[in-house]
Amino acid sequence: MRTRPRPRRLASRPWTLPVLAAAAVAAGLLTAVPHGPAARGGPDGAAADGAAGRLAAAGAPQGKARPDARGVVLAVHGGAGTALRRDETSPEREKAYRDGLADAVRAGKKVLDRGGDSVSAVEAAVRSLEDNPLFNAGKGAVFTADAGHELDASVMRGSDLAAGAVAGVRHVRNPVSAARLVMEKTPHVLLSGEGADDFAAAHGLEPVTQDYYWTQARWDALMAAKKKSGGARSAATLADEQAKGTVGAVARDEKRDLAAATSTGGLTNKLSGRVGDSPVVGAGTYAKNSTVAASATGDGEVFLRGAATATISNLMEFGGKDVASAAYEVLVERLPKLGGDGGVIALDRKGTFDAPHSSEGMLHAYLTEDGTIVTKIFPDETPPNT
């Protein structure tokens, strides 16, 4: 039985942030439709899955960009990777993941149903995922190499390009809410480390100890990563697959304003002070009303170097591409050259939605205008378009 590491006060460290942004997104799949038995039914829509969906996914054309769905108002992701395989996942575990994604969608839907704006909707959806220990954000954040937790998050508003982010926070329960406070209460975009923790507490976010983030699964993943690495450090030894996952959300409100948010615990066994793409505007998160709201997940260093989400927007704005075509170009034509994989959820003002990825799988869900919630967690539901 693994023993729980004692909570400890970590000394302040200088914080640096890569300024190159990131590249990776994937090509479109077929237009998604509700399918199969509900993972969790309810009056506000059903989470869909089943044989029909697997057959539809299997028939998706490869090497071609097509949007997943139309008429989408909100979507979430729970990370890119290969952690969930149909033949190795119990019905109880499958239900837990589908429920977690559907609950996040419902949290955002409640905001939109009462006339709330898209920023509030993505914040609510991401907070739900941060509070769920299944996902690598908030409560379920992975461990750094020195057995600590350092969390990153960002949020962006499409109507005026306002943005806020936090990096390397150690005592914030919901980093996405701290990121929104940075956007709304300061002239800055990004706060990091101890200063970000202090700022969040000063603005009413109740601090938590490092022990709050501890879970047995993440501790075991750290031990496995250290055993695998044998002291050496490389991208191949940095994480269990699900630890690649960030969480994120995109939404459009009744005014058709877009917003996006992303949150993560980073990589298992990462060096303390490492910052990935999630808190970087234009890499892990981007929203612009005239183009796209996008939240990314995957190899953060690659998303940073290729300015992934901003590139999708730029291809739409200056290249005249649609959501799926822009995402395809970033992921399939650009990302492999940088040596990494991942995915993105991308939504435009018309409700065209795409969830492309170059990783084997990506956990995600979306809400359509008629109230239907669709969840996708297995690779055979969302095959990579490469």
Using one digit for the tens of pLDDT, what is the confidence trace for 49-73?
Answer: 333 333 233 333 345 678 999 999 9
Domain ranges of the chain: 47-381
| CA-wise closest residue to 177 among 125, 239, 116, 107 | 125
| CA-wise closest residue to 297 among 233, 361, 349, 220 | 361
pLDDT tens digits, one per residue of 183-193: 999 999 999 99
Residue type, 25: V
Q: Which residues contact 283 (CB under 8 A, 6 or more apart)?
A: 21, 22, 277, 296, 300, 303, 304, 307, 308, 309, 310
CATH number assigned to the domain with residue range 47-381, chosen from the 4 options 3.60.20.30, 2.40.170.20, 3.30.450.20, 3.40.50.720: 3.60.20.30
- Let me know: does 135 contact 97? Beta carbons within 8 Å: no
**279 vs 266: CA distance, rounded Å:** 11
Q: Which two tokens stand for residue 59?
A: 């028939």
> How does residue 367 score in pLDDT terms, banded at 50, 70 and 90?
very high
- Tell me the pTM: 0.83
Which pLDDT score, from 0 to 100, does residue 107 have?
98
Query: Given 3, 16, 144, 246, which residue is catalytic?
Result: 246
Which pLDDT score, from 0 to 100, does residue 105 have?
98
Per the annotation, the verdict on 246 as an active-site residue is yes
pLDDT tens digits, one per residue of 260-304: 999 999 999 999 999 999 999 999 999 999 999 999 998 899 999
